[in-house]
Each structure stands twice: as C-alpha cells, then as structure tokens.
Amino acid sequence: MVNSYARIAGIVLAFWSVTDLCNQTVCHGSEPSVPARRVLVIGIDGVRPDALENANTPAIDKLIAAGSFTKNTKILGNRYCENETISGPGWSSFLTGVWADKHGVHDNTFRGRNYDAYPHFFVYLKRKFPNAVTGSFVDWEPIDTYIVRDADVREVRPASNKNSLEQKDEILAEAAVQFLTRQDPHAVFVYFGQVDEVGHQDGFHPSVPSYLQAIQTVDLHIASLIGAIQSRPDHVQENWLIIISTDHGGRGRKHRGGHDVPEIVTTFLVVSGDEAMKGEIQEPSYIVDVPVIALTHLGVPIEGAWQLDGKAVGIRQEFRNDQ
Ligand SMILES: [Zn+2]
C-alpha cells in the first residue's frame, strides 16, 4: 500500500511540475489561441485612385510612406469576371478572397451567395486562433446581413436610419476607435460609405470637389483609427498591418456595367506596417488579395482546400508563404 501511495504521489507531483511548466512557458505541442500580430482592414466604397491622388489625405499618405501602394488593383479577375461592377460582388470578393463564381454573388440581390463554402476571412482566423478577437464596422447594411461571420463585435448603421452616410461614417469611426482603444482586437474591418454616395450624386471624378472632400473626410477618420492603434500601450509588439482598398471606381455618376471601363475596374491598394514591402507594388494585384494579405500577416497558413484566388501582395517576401 505504502508503495502504491508513493507511486501515485510521485505521478501527481510529476503532473504538477509539467502543468506548472506549461503555465510559465509555451508548452510544446500546445497551439497558441490568439495570433501574435494584428490587422486593420479599411474599405472605402467607390474610390478612384486618380481622385485619391488629387485629394489631400495626410493619413493615407503616411501609411503609404510606411508601406507599399499601387493604383493598379483590379476589381475583376482574369480567371473570372462575369459579375456586375457594383458593391455586392465587390465586397464579397474583398472579404472572402475569391471571385464571384465561387462566392456566388453577381449583383446586389446577393442571390446565389455561397459564404458557407467561401466565408469571410474572420472564419479562417478563428479556426486557427479560436480566441482571436474580431470586429466589423459597416454602414452598407448588406455586408453585415450577408457577409460578416465570426465577428465578436458587429456595428452596423442600417439603411432605415436616415442619417447621411457622412454622419454614419463618423459614428462608425468613433465606435471603431473605442473598440481599438478599450478592447484587445486582433482583426478589425472598418467600411466607409460616403465616397460612393457622393460619387453617385455629383460624379466619380478627380475634378469633382465634393467627391474629393468625401475622400478627405474619410482620411480624417483613418487618422483617428491610426491614432487609436498608436495609443495602445503595446502597439509596437502587436505589429499592426493596415490594409486599405475599395470595391470599384466609377465614371460619370455610375459604376455598373464597367467591365471595359478602366476608371471603374482599376482601384488602389495600401499595405502598411513593419512587415509590408516598401514602395510601389509591381506584381498584379486584385481585391481578392486583401484577405490573403490579412491572414498571412496574422499567421494563418492559407490552405489549398479553401481555393482562395488572392495572394499576399505588398508583404515582404520573407513573410510570405504563397510563392
Ligand atoms: Zn460600392
């Protein structure tokens, strides 16, 4: 009896010391449940790159100086381009990393959507890191209704709310700033709608003052978001990557039916942070790249079974695993 008690006590002691070791250090074989790095993805609806160039946007300029940029990002693929050049398919591609033959959304009815097979990128993040904290802030309601999944915080300004998109963007920006300041988020998506609204009213063109003004107003919101990140006590170790792009450009007062219109299908991409490339992105880039860039930075290996169409453009070669 004495011997078996001693054996059991020995086993218990051994177990204690192993669990104690696990608590103090990273235990071999146990996977971390949160990513080591962070991502802020910003989507600005309906921005033409030549208008972005003409607008006074110090916050975006600073991000470009600290990373990579192109004004040659395409909203349609070479492999597949049959969907309408409007927001439903655009944001679906932007958030899922696949073209419309896979996510199934060809227009703003969202009929045929297949986000079960091709989900929002937060889903892949949570599969790898179950305790990652995610937040989505949008004021084009269908994004929240149809596309967003696995967001711990969801802020949406619905269409039934009669505020202008300019007012809604301001409310959203403030909510996102609070989230970035008070919570511990790993992946955040913030969408701004006013630029597209003004484009439809006054024209999508770099010479239209109100269109440029809307871009400048959004730039002020981006400055607030960056300020919130930079005031986080551990922001340097958190290693934030900031990605900005859009779903389409525009010509005249529209962007529908723009398959052969360069001002509609050509947009911009900003990838900014310590692990971003510096300077102009030379390789072809597409809006489906956005979630692949985000997941790569977050340390989520891209699996072939997901059939993503994007690549991690704008990230320095040594941090990429897709080539
Ligand atoms: Zn749009």
Residue 39 CA to ligand 1 center (angstroms) comes to 22
Give how many domains the chain has, as a whole number: 2
- Ligand 1 center–CA 235 separation, angstroms: 32
More confident residue, 7 or 208: 208
241 and 160 part of one domain: yes
What's 232's domain CATH number?
3.40.720.10
Q: Tell me: do 22 and 167 sit in the same domain.
A: no
Query: CA-to-CA distance for 95 and 35, rounded, in angstroms?
Result: 19
Same domain? 7 vs 90: no
**Domain match, 118 and 59 both:** yes
For residues 173 and 195, membership in a common domain is answered with yes
Tokens of 65: 């100086």
Domain shared by 129 and 146, yes or no: yes
Clarify whether residues 73 and 88 are in a common domain: yes
- CA distances from residue 190 to 4, 73, 137 in whole angstroms, order as listed: 61, 19, 5
**Bridge-partner residues for 129, per DSSP?**
none
Amino acid at 284: P
Note whether 168 and 296 are same-domain residues: yes
How far apart (Å, rounded) are the C-alpha atoms in residues 162 and 137? 18
- pLDDT tens track for 14-68: 444 444 444 333 445 688 999 999 999 999 999 999 999 999 999 999 999 999 9
173 and 247, same domain (yes or no): yes
pLDDT band at 13 (very low <50, low <70, confident <90, very high): very low
175 plus 262 within the same structural domain = yes
DSSP-derived secondary structure letter, 303: P
What is the model's pTM? 0.91
Q: For the segment 251-263, what is each residue's pLDDT rounded down to a tens digit? A: 999 999 999 999 9
**Do 49 and 1 sit in the same domain of this protein?**
no
CA of 13 to the centre of ligand 1 (A): 62
The reply to whether 22 and 138 lie within a common domain is no
C-alpha 268 to ligand 1 mean position (Å): 14
Q: Which residues surround ligand 1, an ion (CB under 5 A)?
A: 45-46, 87, 196, 247
Q: Are 146 and 110 in contact (CB under 8 A)?
A: yes
Domain that includes residue 94, residue range? 35-319
* Tokens read off for 291: 């979630």
